[in-house]
Chains A and B, each alone.
Chain A
Amino acid sequence: EAQVTQNPRYLITVTGKKLTVTCSQNMNHEYMSWYRQDPGLGLRQIYYSMNVEVTDKGDVPEGYKVSRKEKRNFPLILESPSPNQTSLYFCATRRGSGELFFGEGSRLTVL
């Protein structure tokens, strides 16, 4: 079954405590991306990766890092989380210009 798996699904943390949200896909897609969803703003792209070792900034990259060492994995790293990073995060993948396949979402609260 085609899947995009994110962990953790829910996380409450405190300001400044580094965290990583993992993302893994089994569809062998080259493209992966991270979005954040905030009320009234829809989904906004944080970072994307067109292939292994190739990453680039989206619209809202400040405060985030990513890496793409393997095709299937694309972790999102918050080095020093702040309350304005409280959001619902989605990892996604796609083949070519088709639809995005999303993970289940990770709801992050930064106190």
Chain B
Amino acid sequence: AQKITQTQPGMFVQEKEAVTLDCTYDTSDPSYGLFWYKQPSSGEMIFLIYQGSYDQQNATEGRYSLNFQKARKSANLVISASQLGDSAMYFCAMSFFYNNNDMRFGAGTRLTVKP
């Protein structure tokens, strides 16, 4: 069964430091995509970054990078130089190229950036 696991319910990081949010997944399908979303306290879902299963390089978007380790089935989000505005819930998600009618989400990690 396809499953996404985020084992850190909550994380704290000091402002300006880097933080890694963990995400592992379970699938036997070779063709999939991995996504990270941010949900600030206002509630909206904001797409951050995407990694395809066949991508050779780790994805980066500004201060966000995705540490993709295919053999370990992990897709950790790294946020560099944390800012107070990074305090939010972060969700890891997975979908499949052959069957794009669903996206499976992890339980989320609440990140708090301390000044």
Q: Which residues of A contact B (CB under 8 A)?
A: 31, 33, 35, 40-45, 48, 50, 56, 58, 88, 90, 92, 94, 96-102, 104-105, 107
Contact partner, B101, options A44, A48, A88, A107, Cβ 8 Å? A48
- A44 to chain B: which residues have CB within 8 Å? 105
**Closest 7 interchain pairs by CB?**
A42-B105, A102-B45, A43-B105, A99-B47, A97-B100, A42-B107, A105-B43
Q: Which residues of B contact A (CB under 8 A)?
A: 4, 6, 9, 33, 35, 37, 43-45, 47, 50, 91, 93, 95-97, 100-103, 105-108
Bound form: Cα–Cα A92–B64 in Å:
23
CB atoms of B107 and A40 under 8 A apart: yes
CB atoms of A97 and B97 under 8 A apart: yes
- A40 to chain B: which residues have CB within 8 Å? 9, 107
CB atoms of A88 and B102 under 8 A apart: no
How many CB-defined contacts (below 8 Å) exist between A and B? 56
CB atoms of B106 and A45 under 8 A apart: no
Bound form: Cα–Cα A42–B109 in Å:
10
Known A31-B101, A35-B105, A100-B103; 10 more pairs at CB < 8 Å:
A40-B9, A40-B107, A41-B107, A97-B33, A97-B96, A97-B100, A100-B37, A100-B93, A102-B44, A105-B45
CB atoms of A45 and B100 under 8 A apart: no
Given contacts A31-B101, A42-B91, contact A100 B106 (CB under 8 A): no
Main secondary structure of the interface of B (DSSP, over half): strand
Closest to B35 in A: A99
The distance from the CB of A23 to the nearest CB of chain B, in whole angstroms, is: 14
- B6 to chain A: which residues have CB within 8 Å? 42
Selected A-B contacts with CB under 8 Å, 22 pairs: A31-B101, A33-B101, A41-B107, A42-B6, A42-B108, A43-B91, A43-B93, A44-B105, A45-B102, A45-B103, A48-B102, A50-B101, A94-B103, A97-B33, A97-B97, A99-B47, A99-B50, A100-B37, A100-B45, A100-B47, A100-B93, A102-B44
The distance from the CB of A91 to the nearest CB of chain B, in whole angstroms, is: 11
